[in-house]
Amino acid sequence: MLDWMAWTWQTALFFGFVAFMLVLLTLLAIYRPETPRIGILRFPTTRGDRFFVTLIGSAYIFIFWMRFGGGSLWYPLFAAIVYGIAMFKFA
Amino acid sequence: MTEKPLNNRAWFFVLPVLGFVLFSSIIPVMTVVNYSVQDTMGANSFFWNGDQWFRDLLNPATTIGARFNDALFRTLAFSLACLAIEIPLGIALALCAPRKGWAVGISLVVIALPMLIPWNVVGTIWQIFTRADIGLFGATLVGTGLRYNVTQEPISAWMTIVVIDVWHWTPLVILLSYAGLRAIPDAYYQAARIDGASRWAVFSKIELPKLQKVLVIAVLLRFMQTFMIYTEPFVVTGGGPGSATTFLSIDLDKIALGQVDLGNAAAMSLVYYLITLTVCWIFFTVMTQLERRRDV
Residues from chain A contacting residue B6 (CB–CB below 8 Å): none
Q: Does residue B37 lie within any of the structural domains?
A: yes
SS3 B253: helix
A67, B58 Cβ separation under 8 angstroms: yes
CA atoms within 13 A on the CB side of A70: 16
Which backbone phi and psi does A71 adopt, to 5 degrees?
A: -90, -120
Q: Does residue B13 lie within any of the structural domains?
A: no
Q: Does residue B5 lie within any of the structural domains?
A: no
B10 or A66, higher pLDDT: A66
B246-266 pLDDT, tens digit per residue, is: 898 888 888 888 888 888 899
Q: Could you tell me if B124 lies within 8 Å of chain A, comparing CB atoms?
A: no
The lowest-confidence range among A51-55, B181-185, B243-247 is B243-247
Q: Could you tell me if B31 lies within 8 Å of chain A, comparing CB atoms?
A: yes
CATH of the domain at B75: 1.10.3720.10
The lowest-confidence range among A35-49, B109-123, B261-275 is A35-49
**Strands in A1-91 per DSSP E:** 37-38, 44-45
Number of domains in chain B: 1
- What is the Cα–Cα distance from B72 to B243, expressed in whole angstroms? 12
- What is the Cα–Cα distance from A17 to A11, expressed in whole angstroms? 10
B156-184 pLDDT, tens digit per residue, is: 899 999 999 999 999 999 999 999 999 89
Residues from chain A contacting residue B42 (CB–CB below 8 Å): none
- Above 70 in pLDDT, residue B296? no
Task: Looking at the complex, report in whole angstroms how far the Cα of residue B143 sits from the nearest Cα belonging to chain A.
Answer: 48
Contact A67 B44 (CB under 8 A): no
B224-235 pLDDT, tens digit per residue, is: 889 988 888 888
What's the rounded mean pLDDT across residues B94-101? 87
Q: Could you tell me if B278 lies within 8 Å of chain A, comparing CB atoms?
A: yes
Q: Which domain holds residue B76?
A: 28-295
What is the structure's pLDDT at A45? 86
AA identity, residue B286 = V
Residues from chain B contacting residue A62 (CB–CB below 8 Å): 54
B256, B269 Cβ separation under 8 angstroms: yes
B21-70 pLDDT, tens digit per residue, is: 999 999 999 999 998 998 887 777 888 888 888 888 888 888 888 889 99
Q: What is the ipTM of this complex?
A: 0.90
Q: Where are the alpha helices (DSSP H) in chain B?
A: 15-21, 27-35, 52-58, 63-96, 103-112, 119-129, 136-143, 154-182, 186-194, 199-202, 208-227, 231-236, 248-253, 262-295
Q: Residues A38-43: contacts with CB within 8 Å, 24+ apart?
A: A39/A90, A39/A91, A40/A90, A40/A91, A41/A91, A43/B285, A43/B289
Band (pLDDT 50/70/90 cuts) for residue B294 is low
- Above 80 in pLDDT, residue A2? no
B222, B172 Cβ separation under 8 angstroms: yes
B101-151 pLDDT, tens digit per residue, is: 888 889 999 999 999 988 889 989 998 998 888 889 888 888 888 888 888
What is the structure's pLDDT at B5? 65
Band (pLDDT 50/70/90 cuts) for residue B87 is very high
Give, rounded to a whole angstrom, the gap between the first and last alpha carbons of chain B.
13
Mutation test of the interface with chain A: which of B31, B53, B283, choosing the one with the most A Cβ atoms within 10 A?
Answer: B31
pTM to 2 decimals? 0.84
Contact B35 A6 (CB under 8 A): yes
Contact B31 A11 (CB under 8 A): no
Q: Does residue B206 lie within any of the structural domains?
A: yes
Nearest Cα residue to B36 out of A71, A75, A8, A53 = A8
AA identity, residue B12 = F
- Above 80 in pLDDT, residue B291? no
Can you give the C-alpha Rg of chain B in angstroms? Answer: 24
